[in-house]
Structure 1
Amino acid sequence: MINDNVFNGTFQNLSQKNMPFEQVFLNILQFMEKDPTGNFKLMFGTDSQVYSRETKFITGIVIQQERKGVWACFRKVILPRKMENLHERISYETTLTEEVVSLFTEDKKEQLIQIVLPNIYKGASLTIEGHIDIGSGERNKTRIFVKEMISRMNSIGLKAKIKPDSFVASCYANRFTK
Structure 2
Amino acid sequence: MIFESPTKGRMSFEEMFTDLLEFLNREPHDQYRLIIGTDSHTRHDTVLVTAVVIHHLGKGGRYYFHRSHRRAIKSLRQKIFYETSTSLTVASKLTEMLEKAGVADFDVQIHIDVGRQGETKELIREIVGMVTGSGYRAAIKPDSFGASTVADKYTK
TM-score by length of 2: 0.92
Q: 108, 116, 119: which is aligned to 1:128? A: 108
CA separation of 1:107 and 1:93: change in aligned 2, threshold 3 A: closer
> Is structure 2 residue 71 aligned with structure 1 residue 91?
no
Opposite residue 106 of structure 1, the aligned amino acid is E
> Is structure 2 residue 127 aligned with structure 1 residue 155?
no
TM superposition shift of 1:112: 5.5
Opposite residue 27 of structure 1, the aligned amino acid is D
The aligned residue for residue 18 of structure 2 is 26
Question: What per-residue deviation string (whole Å, max 9, x for no partner) do you get for residues 19-55 of structure 1?
Answer: 111111111111111111211000000001111x111
> Is structure 2 residue 5 aligned with structure 1 residue 13?
yes
- Which residues in structure 2 correspond to 1:137-152 (within 5 Å)? 137=117, 140-152=118-130
Which secondary structure state, in structure 2, belongs to the residue aligned with residue 104 of structure 1?
Answer: helix
Q: 98, 102, 117: which is aligned to 2:92? A: 102
CA distance in structure 1 between the aligned counterparts of 2:139 and 2:148, rounded to whole angstroms? 11
- Where does structure 2 lack aligned partners over 5 or more consecutive residues? none
1:135–1:146 contact (8 Å) kept in structure 2? yes
Q: Sequence identity, in percent?
A: 31
1:131–1:169 contact (8 Å) kept in structure 2? yes
How many pairs align? 156
CA distance in structure 2 between the aligned counterparts of 1:20 and 1:155, rounded to whole angstroms? 29
TM superposition shift of 1:103: 1.5
TM superposition shift of 1:17: 3.6
CA distance in structure 2 between the aligned counterparts of 1:146 and 1:105, rounded to whole angstroms? 24
> Is structure 2 residue 42 aligned with structure 1 residue 64?
no
CA distance in structure 2 between the aligned counterparts of 1:33 and 1:141, rounded to whole angstroms? 41
Which secondary structure state, in structure 1, belongs to the residue aligned with residue 51 of structure 2?
Answer: strand
CA separation of 1:105 and 1:69: change in aligned 2, threshold 3 A: closer
CA separation of 1:34 and 1:47: change in aligned 2, threshold 3 A: same
